[in-house]
Structures are given as structure tokens and as C-alpha cells.
Amino acid sequence: MIRRNFLVGAAALTAFLGANDALAQFVPSRPIDLVVHSGPGAGPDAFGRALIAAIEAEKLSPVRIQINHKIGGGGATAASYIVEKKGDPYTIGLFTSAWVANPLVQADMKATVKEMTPVVRLVIEPAVFAVKADSPYKSMMEIVDAAKKDPTKIKQSGGSPLARDAIVRHVLMSNTGARWAFVSFPTGSERIAALLGGHVDMMIIEPSEAGELIRGGQMRALAQVSDRRLSTFPDVPTLREAGFNVPNVPQARGFVAPPDMPRDAVAFYEQMFEKMVKSPTWQKYLSDNQFEDAFLKSPETGKFFDEYANLMRGILTGAGIKVVR
């Protein structure tokens, strides 16, 4: 009897140890393919490079990580590529919030994050409302009031109507009842040029892009689109502090993987990135670029996708944009 219990216990213990060993077992032996949806030099590519630099500096990966550009369709090409690589433990995709939002509106997109394996969420990018340095507006409230009086007066430069700056505008407009024009430019430099040239009144811009121009005295930040004040903008109120009770629209970045990625591979990446975010190299990168550390592991990242998709559905429908899934 004791012997049988002992055997059962030993078998269970072995199985448990064996399973744990299997979980820690995935060690990559080939270069890792990091898929980004932009071309070289643009935001996701630059983020990916900084990330690889941090991992290499801290020696967290036994193999090389290389960037694979899959440009097109607001992430559609990258998404299709990742979904095709079903089961492959060597491919990971650098997602931005657009990967969750775009499929809600584009019926032509065949592959979406819902099919992929969430891996980790890394950062949330805050942003600021900025005006030209010599602008007469000293606070967000002033601009919103001016917009309420005359809907044709205020202009905001931004990107695609699904991007964060357009969404925040919709949220603010529906919250305050004001209206103002939105002028779309495909690249960040055109948006900034429009602002600096006096052709638009304000824009929403990331601190990494804005920092130098604000430091150089060409732009001024009026409010922050984030939950807490950033260390480099201690005097700039958050939207909530400025009197607007609006939900924060998080611009997140992190990693997804092809569908059916083996559990041990996911665990490998989770552990690698967890070590990375704690490292001094990464912490310095975060503070240099004013990113908010928002590390989440795989299951929580999946939940984040669902919450974000629901938030976006509500906002998009309220803004009159047709939602298809």
C-alpha cells in the first residue's frame, strides 16, 4: 500500500518535474524573426531596433534577433504573414494598438490579432497636446471654448482617422460638445511642419517626437494624454486634471506570435522580456522616450486586446465610423 502510494507519488513528482522541465525547455537555435509593419526608420522599426539593442546589451537571447519588414495595409500584411506561420516558435510580431483597431473597420483584412497568440505587452505611449510656441491659447479649456464658439476656427493636424490622435479628438468632442477640424497628414514631419508653419492650431504628439521641439522653444505642451504626469512634463496637466472626464485611449506596444505557438516558446519570450524590462538599459530607454512601462504577460495581454477592442468599438460607432467586426 505504502509502496503503491510511493510509486504514485514518485510518478506524479516525475511528471511534474518533467513538465516544468519541458516548460523551460525551449531554447532557440535559429535567429528570431521580429516582424514589424513599417519600413526601416519609422516608429515600429525604431522601437524594434532599440529593443534588440537592449536585449543584446543585456545578453538575454542566445540567438540573433532580426527585423523583418512586412509593410502594408496598416498592419494587414504583417498580420497575414504571422497567421500563416502557424505553430512557428521563431516568429514574433511587434504590435501596436492599431493592430487591434484596424480590423474592426477594414472588412478586407483576413488575419487579425484574435487568431494570434498574445505574448507580452511592453509599453504604453503617452502623448501631449501641443501648440506653436507663440499661440494665444494657454490651456486646453481655452481651445475647446474657442471651438465651441466657432467650429471652423480650430484645426488639428493628425494622421489616419483610426490613429490615436483622431480617436482622442472624437472622445473629447463628444465629451464637450465642441467641434474642430482634423487635417490628416501621412507622416509625422508633415504634421509638425503644419503646426510650426501656423497652418493648424494644435496637434497630439508623442513626447519622443515633441521633446526636442519643446526644448528648443518652438512648441508648447498644453495637456497630457495619459493617466499620470510624465517626469519631463511636470507642469503640464493631464486631460483629467484639465477638467475633461474622458477615458484614456492607450497606445500600447508589445508582442504577438503565430497561432498555436507552443506553450514553452511563449514562456521563453515572456521570461526574456520580463528580464529585459527590469534591465537598466531598457529603463533608460523608457525614460529617454517617456514611455510608460506597462508589462503584461500572455493571458493579461489577451484580455487587454479584448478590452481595447470593446473600447474602440464604442468610440468608433459614436464617431460615425462603420464597425464590421
Partner 1 sequence: MEVLAGLSHGFGIALQPMNLLWCLAGCVLGTLVGIMPGLGPAAAIAMLMPVTFSMDPTGGIIMLSGIYYGAKYGGSTTSILLNIPGEASSVASCIDGHQMAKKGRAGAALGIAAIASFVAGTFGVVLLTLVAPPIARFALSFSSPEYFALLSLGLALVVLFAGESPLKAALAMLVGLWFTSVGIDLFSAQARFTFGQSALLNGIDFMIVAIGVFAVAEVLGSMQERTDMQLMDVPRGIRNLLPSWEELKACRFAFVNGSLTGFLVGVLPGAGSSISSFIAYAFEKLFSKHPERFGHGAPEGLAAPEAANNADTSGALVPMLTLGLPGGGTTAILLSALVLWGLKPGPMLMQDSPNVFWGLVASMYIGNLMLLLLNLPLVPLFAQALRVPAYVLFPMILGISVVGVFGVAQSMFHIGLLAGFGLLGYAMARLGFPGAPLILGFVLGDGMERALRQSLQMSGGDLGILVSRPIAAGLLIAAVLVLLMPLIGRFNRWRLRSIAENE
Smaller CB separation from partner 1, 194 or 267: 194
How deeply is 171 buried, as exposed, middle or buried, from its count of CB atoms within 10 A (0-12, 13-18, 19+)?
A: buried
CA angle 213, 246, 133 (to 5 degrees): 20
Long-range contacts of 70-73 (CB under 8 A, 24+ apart): 70/35, 70/36, 70/37, 71/37, 71/38, 71/39, 72/37, 73/106, 73/108, 73/109
Smaller CB separation from partner 1, 88 or 190: 190
Nearest distance in Å: CB 170, partner 1: 13
CA 295 remoteness from chain centre: 12
d(C-alpha 116, C-alpha 107), whole Å? 18
Nearest distance in Å: CB 226, partner 1: 21
The dihedral sign for the CA sequence 247, 115, 43, 166: negative
Smaller CB separation from partner 1, 8 or 107: 107
Smaller CB separation from partner 1, 105 or 256: 105
Smaller CB separation from partner 1, 46 or 294: 46
The footprint of partner 1 (CB under 8 A) covers 39-42, 45-46, 49-50, 53, 67, 70-74, 76-77, 80, 102, 105-110, 151-152, 155, 159-162, 181-190, 192-194, 196-200, 211-213, 215-218, 321
d(C-alpha 25, C-alpha 283), whole Å? 28
Query: What's the longest Cα–Cα distance across the chain?
Result: 87
Nearest distance in Å: CB 312, partner 1: 13
Nearest distance in Å: CB 266, partner 1: 27
Smaller CB separation from partner 1, 71 or 242: 71
